[in-house]
Amino acid sequence: MKKLAAGVALMALVAGSAHAAEEVEVLHWWTAGGEAAALNVLKDNLAGQGVGWKDMPVAGGSGVQAMTALRARVTAGDAPTAVQMLGFDIKDWSAMGVLGDLNELAQKENWDMVVPAALQEFSKHDGKWIAAPVNVHSTNWLWINKAAFDKAGGKAPETFDDLLKMLDAFKAQGIVPLAHGGQPWQDGTLWEAVVLSLGGMEFYQKAVIEADPAALGGDKMKEVFEAMSKLRAYFDPNFSGRDWNLSSAMVIEGKAGAQQMGDWAKGEFLRAGQKPGTDFVCIRFPGTQGSVLFNSDQFVMFDIGEGEERSAQLKMAAAVMDPAFQSSFNVVKGSVPARVDVADTAFDDCGKKGMQDLADASKTGNLAGSLAHGHAQPSAVKSAIFDVVTQHLNGQITTDEAVKRLPEAVAAAQ
């Protein structure tokens, strides 16, 4: 508390001193290799328009640390131009009344028509555009090392039981079957994929999106936690606290067979010079084919007054929504464009599959927000679910306790 306050005071002194002609200050957590490379696309685009880029990176995969840094800035009355943000965080912040208004630009460029409704849910507040969506990620992917995959039979697992068979085959090869990083958000990412795999979209909607106590504490959920215990047996002993990109590296180097992770993992594979289909395989998490759990990175625009800063801000928002940018950015990042009217020609096989899956799932109603990435519940509830999931995965509580505690924890956080 004291440190924060001192920091706030210090920033208030420093603020207002340095302002170049036209410049945007962007707070984000894209610090892993593939992510940083993708962000450079946007930097170069803006530099071409004479807009400077003041980087404010805050490391940490889930963006939690970035939100903390943001809180200090906003409390000090010195909000950055734009902030990378996810789902319910955007809703929380827009309720605080500190965000800017992009409606004029949005109407001129017809954002209402090109951005999927599921995303608009988060990029608009009270009918007002407040954020520019950059991409759509989906979290229910499985990334597999091709060599290990071929040795294990070369057939993509289609159900959860098939997955266990494949992991057994990896085990027999003497590699780590499933590379996993034991951080609460990664545990949560795996958990939501298992919920979808075993329960289907209807159950996911009921349990995760609606937080229905009966679904959270029922027999199906018990099955999910039992499945988590089974998966736990395929981790290496050192998974605790490992960053997600280090787990990806294990798959890339052939030390591990597979990793369940969102499509940002693809950026790591591409950056290591690997090609989809020949060096690695991307499939939907077994049992979740046809469904997509999404999260969307958006650049939320803060209210920074009129003048030069505002003009730089609008230029940035327009640049983010530029179809050419959305294509080139997402090719590098591993995600798919937030606009539905972008051609998939530049994308690799995994990217094309991702775009196709997104379009299909959106039509069939099998598109839902990812809990682990803040598109299903506010962060208090999300963290409460993480608590139970991570405690169970680490053996602190039994399956029965987890099923009992999950609805309680959710109710206490609401």
Q: Where along the sequence are the contacts to other proteins (CB under 8 A)?
A: 1-2, 4-6, 64, 67-68, 71, 74-75, 92-93, 96, 182-184, 236-241, 378-380, 383, 387, 390-391, 393-396, 405, 409, 412-413
3-state helix, strand, coil in the chain (%, to 5): 55, 15, 30
Residue 291 · residue 361 · CB < 8 Å: yes
Helix (H) or strand (E) run with residue 152 in it = none
Which CB atom, from 67 or from 194, has the smaller least distance to other proteins?
A: 67
Cβ contact 247:256 at 8 Å: yes
| Residues written for the chain | 414
Residue type, 269: F
CB of 340 to other proteins, least distance (A): 32
Pick between residue 366 and residue 390 the one whose CB is nearest to other proteins: 390
Cβ proximity to other proteins, 5 vs 20, nearer residue: 5
Smallest separation (angstroms) from other proteins to the CB of 249 = 14
What DSSP character marks residue 295?
Answer: E
Shorter beta-carbon distance to other proteins: residue 9 or 214: 9
Q: Between residues 279 and 401, which has the closer beta carbon with respect to other proteins?
A: 401
Q: How far is the CB of 275 from other proteins (least distance, A)?
A: 29
Q: How far is the CB of 412 from other proteins (least distance, A)?
A: 6
Which residues are CB-neighbours of 263 under 8 A, at least 6 positions away?
137, 138, 139, 141, 282, 334, 335, 336, 350, 354
Rounded to the nearest whole angstrom, what is the least distance from the CB of residue 96 to other proteins in the complex? 6
Q: How far is the CB of 129 from other proteins (least distance, A)?
A: 21
- Least separation in angstroms between residue 349's CB and other proteins is 33
> Rounded distance, CA 82 to CA 312, Å?
10
Nearest CB to other proteins, comparing residues 371 and 393: 393
Q: How many CA atoms lie within 13 A of 170 on its CB side?
A: 31
C-alpha 2/C-alpha 83 separation (Å) is: 25
Question: What DSSP letter does each residue of 37-72 carry, written as one string?
Answer: HHHHHHHHHHHHTT-EEEEEE---TTSHHHHHHHHH
- Between 229 and 391, CB nearer to other proteins: 391
CA 306 to centroid of chain Cα atoms: 32
Looking at the Cβ atoms of 361 and 393, the one nearer to other proteins is: 393
Q: Which is nearer to other proteins, 43 or 404 (CB)?
A: 404
Question: Order of strands, edge to edge, in the sheet holding 141-145?
Answer: 176-178, 256-260, 141-145, 280-284
**Minimum CB–partner distance for residue 312 and other proteins (Å):** 26
Closer residue to other proteins (CB): 31 or 75: 75
Tokens of residue 11, six digits: 């920033």
* Rounded least distance, CB 184 to other proteins, Å: 8
Q: Which backbone phi and psi does 138 adopt, to 5 degrees? A: -130, 150
Give me the least distance between CB of 217 and other proteins, in Å please: 16
Distances (CA, A) of 17 to 2, 51, 74, 208: 24, 18, 17, 46
Strands 141-145, 82-85: parallel, antiparallel or unpaired by DSSP? unpaired
Cβ-in-10-Å burial (0-12, 13-18, 19+) of 54 comes to middle
